[in-house]
Amino acid sequence: MANLRGGDLSRLRQLNSLSAIRALRGAGPLTLSALAERTGLSRPSTKEVVDELAQVGWVEEVPPSPGTMGRPARRYRFRANCGYLVGIDIGAHNVRAALADLDGQVLAETRQPALPGAPLDDRLAAIERAVSGCLTLSGKTVADLWTVAVGTTGIVTPDGRVAYSASVPSWTGLDLAGRLREMFPCEVLVENDSRLAALAESRRGVARGSRDVVFLHVARRMGAALIIDGRLHRGFGTAAGEIGMLPEMRWLQATDHLNGCAIVPEETAPEDAAGYTLAAARSGDPVALDAVGRYLDDLAVGAAAMALLLDPEVVVLGGGFSRAADVLLEPLRERLERSCMRMPEVLASTLGEECVVLGAIDYAVDHLDRQHFTADAGPVPPQAAVTSR
Amino acid sequence: MANLRGGDLSRLRQLNSLSAIRALRGAGPLTLSALAERTGLSRPSTKEVVDELAQVGWVEEVPPSPGTMGRPARRYRFRANCGYLVGIDIGAHNVRAALADLDGQVLAETRQPALPGAPLDDRLAAIERAVSGCLTLSGKTVADLWTVAVGTTGIVTPDGRVAYSASVPSWTGLDLAGRLREMFPCEVLVENDSRLAALAESRRGVARGSRDVVFLHVARRMGAALIIDGRLHRGFGTAAGEIGMLPEMRWLQATDHLNGCAIVPEETAPEDAAGYTLAAARSGDPVALDAVGRYLDDLAVGAAAMALLLDPEVVVLGGGFSRAADVLLEPLRERLERSCMRMPEVLASTLGEECVVLGAIDYAVDHLDRQHFTADAGPVPPQAAVTSR
DNA sequence: CTACTAATGAAGCGCTCCTTCGTAACTAGG
DNA sequence: CCTAGTTACGAAGGAGCGCTTCATTAGTAG
C-alpha cells in the first residue's frame, strides 16, 4: 500500500542527496569525512553527491578550518541563502510575517495591525505590506522568494480555501491560496494557524524531538493541533483538532471564567479582560486565582480527553495565554494527573508570539524537502540554477 | 530526522523486492510483464528480482494460463505457504486462535472457553490448546510457525507485558510476551485487542483503504483504537485509545442504560442483560429503544470528541454490540451529525467475532513486511531456505 | 502450413557506490 | 629550516543494479 512502486538508480541518488542535505542543514559546515559518516556513504560517493549538489546550487564550499592536524579538509555548507521563505500569521488582530533562509533561520520580521471586522481587502493589503516590509528589511526582492506559507485562523480546505472562520468573519469562504498566488509569484501554502504553531513547537520549540505532541492553543478562542508520528495531523477533510466545538469539552465557555471575573474593572476592553484576570492571579489575588481554577477545570477536560486518546509524549501550552504559563501550568498538570493513564510532560511554549510564523517557515522547509524527496522533475527551484556559480 | 542515513545499492534491491512481493501478494499470480508494470521496473529487472525471491523461497512459478495470444507468459505467485502465522484473541470469556498463511488467508480456527476469574495458568493453557487445535486442523506443526501475534484485553506495554486489565484481573502485571515465547519457538507479538480489531477493519474490513480510522469497540466495556495515516497509533507509552476512562466522556456508565432497562427479566444473567435490551429494541420495544437512545447519547459524546479531534474518514462500530448495528448505526449517525464539523462515514464492522484474531494476523503480516523492509540481515526467516526447492 | 502475437533470454550500456592506493597539505618537533 | 607524522584528497579499478535492444521462441488464428 505504502509505496508499491520500486525505485530507479536515480532514486537512490535522490535519497542520498536528501540525506546529505539534511545532515548539512542540521549541523552547519561539514567536512567530507564527517558528512560521509553521517549519511552512511563512503567518502568518494559523498564527494560525488556533494559535487552534484554544488553544481545545482544547493551546497557550496567554505574555507577549511585551520589549526587541525594533517591536510585541511574541504568543508561544505548548505546554501541556505540561495532562496528565501516567508511565513505569515494571519490573526484576528495582527498580520505577522517573517522572512527566513532555507535553513529556516529568520532574517526579518514585521507586524501589521488589522481589526477583526475589517474588510477583506484591508486584510489582504496588510499581508502585502507585512511581506514587503520583510523584503525591505532584509534587502531581498519578491523574486528571491521560493515559498510563502500562511497560517490563518479558521478551517482551511486542502486546496487552500478558508471554509470557516469564527474570529474573522470576512475570511469565511475566501480562496486564500488563490489570492496569495496572484500576489506572489512563488509556491503558496496555506494551513491552519494552530497547526503551524504545533509544528514549530515540535521542530524548534519545547517539544523538539517528540513524535507525538498535543498542542493546546489557549487564547480567547481555544484550539488544538496534533503532531502524530512526527507529522502534522490534518485529518481526512483537514478538519482535525476541532475538539473544542463539542459542548461537553467545556472549551466554548471556558474563557468566560476569566472574562467574567469580579475583579476585572468595568472599563476594561473585552479583549483585555482575561489578561487582567491572569495578571491578577499571578500577583496572588484569590478571586482571580479562583477564576483561573475554574477556567482550568474546563480546559483540563478536553486536554485529558486528548491525552487519554492519543497518549502523547508532550502536551504544549501555546497561544496568547501561555504568557501566563506560571499560573496555568502546574494547576493544569495536577488536573491531568488525576485523569491520565500515563502522564505526559506538560510544557509551556517558549516561542511566544512568533510561534505561528515560525511554524509556517518550518512548514515551508518541510514542503521543500518533500518536493525534493518525491519530485520526478528537478529538485531545484528555478532560481537555483541562476544563482549557482 | 526521518532517515538521515543514505542507501546502498542493495537497499534499492530490497525496496524493489518488497514492492514485488507486495504486488504479488495483492494480486495473485502475475506474469512478469504485469508485475513489471505494477512495480515500475523494467521487465528484465523484474525477472532478476523474481529470480532472487524464488531462490530464497518467497516466490514460485506456476503453470502459465493457456488460451492467450502469443507466447504464454510465465507466471509467479507469492509462496504464502512457505510459513504460517497464528493470531490469538485473548478475551475475558474466550480464547480464539486462527492459523493463516503468509497472505493472511485463514486456514483453521479454534475457540477455547475461559472464565474472567480463572487462574492465570488455566488461561495460558487455553491459549496452548487453542493453538495446537489450529495446528491439528490444518495439519501443520509448531515448527511451521513464523509468528504468533496476540491481542489481549488491557493495556500492553511496549515489551509485551500487560500493565493493567480491568476485565481479566489475573492478567494484570503478566509478562505475556515472555510466557508465550516459552510456549512457541518463533516470533511473538503482543498488542491490545481493540487495536488489532481496528487494524483488521482497516486492512480487510469496512474501513479498507482509509488512512484515518476511528474504531469504536462497543461491548460491555467500551474501547477505542485509532488508525492514523494508515498505521496503528500506539502513543508514546502505548496507552493510546483510553479516552473512555474520562468521566466526562460518559462511557464508563453508558452500558448501564442497557443493563438496567426495565424490560430485562430479573433472572437474566448480568452479562446478557445488554444483549436482551438490544434485541428488544430491534423488535421495536419502545422502552428498550428509549434505553438504547440514552446509551447512544453517552456513546456519541466520546465518539464526537474523537471525530472532531481527528477528522477521520471512517468511524467503525465494532465489538460485541455491533451485532445490533441495525439499531445503533443510524441513531449514532444522527447524533454525530449534530456535533461534527465534517461528518465521517459511520459503518458497522462486518468481521464480527473474528475481528481481533484477523487483526492479529494482519499485524503479523505487517511485522513481516517491516522486517523485510528494514532488516540489514536476511529478510528470510530460517525455514524459508529449507523449504526452498 | 503460414502469418501474427506476445513473451523470452542474452548482450551491451550507463549509473551509483565501493575499496584501494599513491599523493598532497599542513602541524609538531628538532 | 628541515624532517616526521597526520590527515585528507583524488584517481583508478571493480562490482551491483537497472535499462534498452533485438533475435528467438512458443503459442493462436485462419
Q: Per-residue pLDDT tens for A47-66?
A: 999 999 998 889 999 988 87
Sequence spans of domains, chain B = 6-78, 82-196+355-387, 206-350
Average pLDDT value over all residues in chain A: 90
**A29-42 mean pLDDT:** 91
All residues of chain A having their beta carbon less than 8 Å from the beta carbon of residue B6 are: 15-16, 19-20, 39-41
Tell me the CA distances in angstroms from B66 to A167, B79, B104, B252, one per residue in order: 67, 22, 28, 61
> B232 near B199, Cβ under 8 Å?
yes
Q: What is the predicted pLDDT for the residue at A374? A: 64
Domains A82-196+355-387 and A206-350 alike in fold: yes
Q: For the segment A143-158, what is each residue's pLDDT rounded down to a tens digit?
A: 999 999 999 988 899 9
Confidence of residue B388 (pLDDT cuts 50, 70, 90): very low
The identity of residue B349, as a single letter, is: S
Q: For the segment B16-54, what is each residue's pLDDT rounded down to a tens digit?
A: 998 899 899 888 799 999 999 999 999 999 999 999 999
Q: What is the predicted pLDDT for the residue at A282? A: 94
Q: Select from A147, A158, A154, A175 the least CA-distant residue to A362.
A: A147
Q: What is the predicted pLDDT for the residue at B2? A: 40
Contact (CB<8Å) B233/A230:
no
Proportion of chain A above pLDDT 70, given as a percent: 94
**Shortest distance, CA A311 to any CA of chain B (angstroms):** 5
Confidence of residue A388 (pLDDT cuts 50, 70, 90): very low
Candidate CATH numbers 1.10.443.10, 1.20.1560.10, 1.10.10.10, 3.90.700.10; the one for domain A6-78: 1.10.10.10
CATH superfamily to which A206-350 belongs: ATPase, nucleotide binding domain (3.30.420.40)
Helices vs strands, H then E, count in chain B: 12, 15
Q: Is the pLDDT of residue A24 over 50?
A: yes
Q: What is the predicted pLDDT for the residue at A370? A: 82
Q: What is the predicted pLDDT for the residue at B9? A: 83
Q: Is the pLDDT of residue A283 over 70?
A: yes
Q: What is the DSSP letter of A133?
A: H
**A80-85 mean pLDDT:** 92
Which triple of cell numbers denotes residue B71?
A: 507466447
User: For residue A42, what are the β-bridge partners?
Assistant: none
Q: What is the predicted pLDDT for the residue at B312? A: 98
Q: What is the predicted pLDDT for the residue at A195? A: 96
Protein contacts on strand D: list nucleotides below 7 Å from a Cβ.
5-13, 15-21, 25-29
All residues of chain B having their beta carbon less than 8 Å from the beta carbon of residue A238 are: 311
Q: Is B227 left (phi over 0), alpha (psi -120 to 50) or beta?
A: beta
Within 349-368 of chain A, which residues have Cβ less than 7 Å from strand D? none
Q: For the segment A203-246, what is each residue's pLDDT rounded down to a tens digit?
A: 999 999 999 999 999 988 899 999 999 999 999 999 999 999 99
> B98 near B85, Cβ under 8 Å?
no
The pTM of this model reads 0.89
Q: Is the pLDDT of residue B214 over 70?
A: yes
Q: What is the predicted pLDDT for the residue at A134? A: 97
Confidence of residue B375 (pLDDT cuts 50, 70, 90): low
d(CA A122, CA A168): 12
Distance of CA B175 to the CA centre of its chain: 21
Chosen for mutation from B8, B19, B310, B372 (greatest number of chain A CBs closer than 10 Å) is B310
Nearest to A242 among B155, B246, B341 (CB): B341
Confidence of residue B8 (pLDDT cuts 50, 70, 90): confident
Phi, psi of A347 (to 5 degrees): -130, 150
Phi, psi of B240 (to 5 degrees): -70, 155
With CA atoms as reference, the chain A residue closest to B225 would be A309
Task: Say which CATH class B82-196+355-387 falls into.
Answer: alpha beta
Proportion of chain B above pLDDT 70, given as a percent: 94
d(CA A378, CA A370): 13
Q: For the segment A319-347, what is each residue's pLDDT rounded down to a tens digit?
A: 989 999 999 999 999 999 999 999 999 99
All residues of chain A having their beta carbon less than 8 Å from the beta carbon of residue B23 are: 4
Segment holding A355, helix H or strand E: helix A355-374
**B319-346 mean pLDDT:** 95
Residue B226 CB coordination number (10 Å): 27
d(CA A352, CA A156): 23
Q: What is the predicted pLDDT for the residue at B179? A: 96
Confidence of residue B3 (pLDDT cuts 50, 70, 90): low
Confidence of residue B384 (pLDDT cuts 50, 70, 90): very low
**A90-106 mean pLDDT:** 93
From the CA of B71 to the C1' of D26: give the distance in Å. Answer: 5
**A39-54 mean pLDDT:** 92
Q: Select from B209, B87, B102 the least CA-distant residue to B152.
A: B87
> B315 near B347, Cβ under 8 Å?
yes
With CA atoms as reference, the chain B residue closest to A157 would be B342
Q: What is the predicted pLDDT for the residue at B5? A: 65
Q: Is the pLDDT of residue A379 over 50?
A: no
For residue A190, give the 3-state DSSP assignment.
Answer: strand
Using C1' positions and the CA of B52, the closest nucleotide is: D17
Q: Is the pLDDT of residue B373 over 60?
A: yes
Distance of CA A28 to the CA centre of its chain: 22
B42 C-beta less than 7 Å away from strand D? yes
Average pLDDT value over all residues in chain B: 90
Q: What is the predicted pLDDT for the residue at A348? A: 97
d(CA B91, CA B356): 9
> B29 near B72, Cβ under 8 Å?
no
Confidence of residue A279 (pLDDT cuts 50, 70, 90): very high
